[in-house]
Amino acid sequence: MLRSSIIAVALILAVVRGALAANPVAYRVSIAPTGNGGLDAALAATAELRTLRGTAPVGPFGLIVRARTDVDRLKTVLDSFGYYESSVRITIDGRPLADPQLPERLARLAQGQDAAVVVGFALGPLYRLGRISIDGELPPFARAVLGLRTGDPAVAAAVLAGGARVRTALEDHGYAFARVDPPIATLDEAHRVLDLAFPVVAGPRVRIGAISIVGLQRLRAHYVLGRLPLHRGEPYSPSAIERARTTLIDVGVFSTVSVHVGKAPDATGGVPVTFVVRERPRHAVSINAAYSSDLGGSGGVTWTDRDVFGHAERFSVSSSVTNIGGSATTGLGYDASAKLVKPEFGDRDQSLQFALNAVKQSLVAYDQTAVTAGTTLVRKLSSVWTANVGVTAANELIVQPPGAASPRRYTLIELPIGLNYDSTNVASPLDDPLRGMRDSLTVTPTRSIGSPSATFVITQLKLAGYLDLHRFGWTAPGRSVVAVRGLAGLAQGAGEFGLPPDQRFYGGGSGTIRGFRYQGVGPVFPHTTTPIGGTAIIAGSLEFRQRFGKNFGAAVFVDAGQVSASLKPLPSVLRVGIGAGLRYYTPIGPIRIDFALPARRYSPSDDPYEIYVGLGQAF
C-alpha cells in the first residue's frame, strides 16, 4: 500500500512538472514606470518575470505562477519605499491572472507569438517618517550620524542605513560591542507616517588588546607584528584593524588574511585581535607572451622567491626571447633580469630594490647589446603618491644604423628621480582602470662616457585619466569608460647625435602612436627610412572602452603625436592613428587585440595597418 502511494505521488509530481515546463510560452514584459528612478530600478531587478525570461522558460501554468509570485515580491519593494497602501496588478494578454481561461489561451498561442505581460502599480500615498527616537544611552556624536529626519520618505534602505551608521560610529570610537537592533516601526495609518524607535546598547568603550598572528610558516612573527600599523592599547577601531589587514595583504606573501576579534574584553579591558594568515607558496613560476605586428612576438618565464630571508624579501629571475618576427625588427633579441626587493628599508613605507639586466635588441633604428645594474629607493608618500630615487650604471654596444661597420660603446651613469601619482585604486597594472588618474614625472641626469661623451638630462611626463560614464548616470558601473593619456619628453644638454641612440625618443607603436610601426615616427637618416630618434616627443590618446556581457569588450581610439628636435605644445605636423580593438576580460586582466591604421601615410615606409596583442589595456 505504501509503495503504491509513493508511486502515485511520483506520477502526480511528474505530470505537474511536465505541465509547468512543456511547451514554453514566449512572452515579453512591460513594467510601468513609477516616476521614481530608484524605485523603478528596484522593481525591474526584483521581477522574476523579467530576470528569468531568457534563462528559465516556463509553460502556461508556470508563467501564471511566476506572475503571481511577482505580485507579492513587487508589493514588498513598494512597501520598502514607503508606499504601504500600494497594489500590484499583472495581466497577461490583457487578462487577469485569476482568469480560468488564461492557461488554455496561452497554450493555444501560435509559434513565434509572444504573450504580453503588463505590470502596473497603484502607488497610493507616500508614507513618511514621523517620530524618531533612540532607546538607550549613547554619546551625542552617535545620535548625530543617524541621518534620518521627520518628514523624510519612509524608505526601508535609508532607515536600515541610519542604524548601520550609528553602529559604525560607535565602533570607530571604541565601543567594540555596541549593538543597534532593527528599529521598532509603528505605522500610523491615520497620519500616514512611520514612527521609529532604535534600540541601542553602546556597551563599554575599550582598547586594542593582545595582537597575535596565526598561520605563519616561514615568515617571522616579529617582522609581521612590526609591520602592523596597529598597537596594543590604542583605542579600538574597526577601520584601523582593516587598515592593518590590508597592510598584511600588501606584503605580497599572504594569499588570504582574515581577522578574528574577541567577543568580550580581556582582563585588562582590551579586545584581543587575531590575524589569521595563509602564506602563498614561497616559489612561483609564471609564463608571459605577447605579440604585435611591429615588434613581433615575445615569450619568457619568471621564477620568484617571495620570502628570501624571512622578512618578505622578493627575488625574481626572468628571461625572455624577443623580436620574433615583426616589421620593426631585424633579428631575435633577449631580455634577462634579476631583481631583489628589500621591503621596509629604514622605514615602513620604504623599499630598496637591486636590479641586474641584460638585453639585446635588433631593431630597424639600431642594434643594441647592453648590461645594466642599479639600485632604487622607493618611498610611499601617501595612498596615491610614491617617490623614487636611484643610481644605474649601464655598459652598452650600439650600432646605428644597423649594419654600420663601427659600433659605439657607451658607459652611462644615471641618477633617475621619479614622482608617481595613482588614484585608480587597482591592485595590479594589468587590471582595468575605471576611474582616477595615473601620472608620473621622471627626471634623469645622465653622464655618457664614450665617443662622444656628454652630460644630459632627460625629462618625461606621463598622464593618464579614466572616467566611468556611470558617474553621469548614463551606464552601469564599469561598463563604459573614457580613457585619455598624454606624453611629453625632452632631452637637454646634448644634441641629437650627442645622445646615445637608445636614450633618444622614438614614436609609433602601442606605447605612443598606434597605427605607425614601432620607432616609425620621427627623424630618419637621409635617403633612408632608418629612424634617428629625436630629443623631444609629444603624444596623446583618446579611447572609449565598452564592455559587453561578462567577459567581452571593445574599444575605439585615436592617437596623435610627433618626435622632433624641440618640444612644442602643438607640433606643426602630427602623426595621427585611428583604430578599434577587442577585449576579453580574464581574472588577471583584459587580453587586448587592437587594429590601427594611419590617418595618412607620410612615407612609403609607413605600414598600411598595425595589429597589437597583449595583456592589459594599452594604458
139 phi, psi to nearest 5 deg: -65, 155
Say which range, 297-306, 446-455, 480-489, 497-506, has the weakest mean pLDDT: 446-455
Domain limit, last residue, from 252, 279, 306:
279
**In whole angstroms, what separates CA 310 from the centre of its chain?**
31
Cα–Cα nearest to 273, from 219, 230, 222, 220: 230
**In whole angstroms, what separates CA 487 from the centre of its chain?**
23
Whether residues 177 and 220 fall in one domain: no
As for how many domains the chain has, the answer is 4
| Averaged confidence pLDDT in the chain | 89
Give the CATH number of the domain where residue 79 resides.
Answer: 3.10.20
450 within 8 A of 413, measured Cβ to Cβ: no
Whether residues 162 and 267 fall in one domain: no
Say which range, 26-30, 83-87, 109-113, 605-609, has the weakest mean pLDDT: 605-609
Whether residues 167 and 292 fall in one domain: no
Domain limit, last residue, from 201, 235, 255:
201
Whether residues 319 and 175 fall in one domain: no
C-alpha cell at 442: 621622471
Q: What is the pLDDT of residues 287-309, one digit of tens each?
A: 988 887 778 889 999 999 998 98
Mean of pLDDT values over 532-558: 94
Instruction: Give the separation between CA 487 and CA 440, rounded to whole angstroms.
Output: 10
Domain assignment of residue 1, yes or no: no
Mean of pLDDT values over 221-236: 88
Whether residues 506 and 418 fall in one domain: yes
Domain assignment of residue 5, yes or no: no
What per-residue confidence (pLDDT) applies to 352?
A: 96
Give the CATH number of the domain where residue 228 resides.
Answer: 3.10.20.310
**3-state SS record for 397-423:** EEECCCCCCCCEEEEEEECCEEEEEEC
90 within 8 A of 117, measured Cβ to Cβ: yes
pLDDT reading at 12 higher than 70: no
Q: How confident is the model at residue 151 (pLDDT cuts 50, 70, 90)?
A: very high
Residues in the chain: 619
pLDDT reading at 270 higher than 70: yes
Mean of pLDDT values over 458-476: 92
63 within 8 A of 102, measured Cβ to Cβ: no
Whether residues 29 and 110 fall in one domain: yes
C-alpha cell at 415: 641618477
Q: What is the pLDDT of residues 555-581, one digit of tens each?
A: 999 999 999 877 766 667 889 999 999
Q: pTM value?
A: 0.69
Identify the bridge partners of residue 207 per DSSP, sorted by sequence position: 235, 270
Domain assignment of residue 12, yes or no: no
Instruction: Give the separation between CA 475 and CA 557, rounded to whole angstroms.
Output: 20
Domain assignment of residue 97, yes or no: yes
Whether residues 573 and 424 fall in one domain: yes
Domain assignment of residue 495, yes or no: yes
Say which range, 52-56, 301-305, 536-540, has the weakest mean pLDDT: 52-56
What per-residue confidence (pLDDT) applies to 476?
A: 84
Of residues 428 and 467, more confidence is placed in 467
Contacts of 553 (CB under 8 A, 6+ apart): 545, 546, 547, 582, 583, 584, 585, 590
Q: How confident is the model at residue 403 (pLDDT cuts 50, 70, 90)?
A: confident
What per-residue confidence (pLDDT) applies to 522?
A: 86
Domain assignment of residue 266, yes or no: yes
Q: How far is CA 224 from CA 207, 239, 247, 378, 428, in A?
A: 21, 19, 10, 20, 23
pLDDT reading at 414 higher than 90: yes
Whether residues 570 and 605 fall in one domain: yes
Instruction: Give the separation between CA 511 and CA 421, rounded to whole angstroms.
Output: 19
Whether residues 585 and 558 fall in one domain: yes
Whether residues 247 and 315 fall in one domain: no
Contacts of 502 (CB under 8 A, 6+ apart): 366, 368, 370, 396, 398
Domain assignment of residue 38, yes or no: yes
Domain limit, last residue, from 245, 279, 313:
279
What per-residue confidence (pLDDT) applies to 294?
A: 79
What per-residue confidence (pLDDT) applies to 19?
A: 43
Cα–Cα nearest to 213, from 260, 249, 280: 260
Whether residues 487 and 520 fall in one domain: yes
* Full residue range of the structural domain in which residue 68 is found: 18-122
Mapped onto helix, strand or coil, the DSSP state of residue 124 is: coil
Q: Which residue has the cell 519605499?
A: 81
Whether residues 133 and 118 fall in one domain: no
Domain assignment of residue 576, yes or no: yes
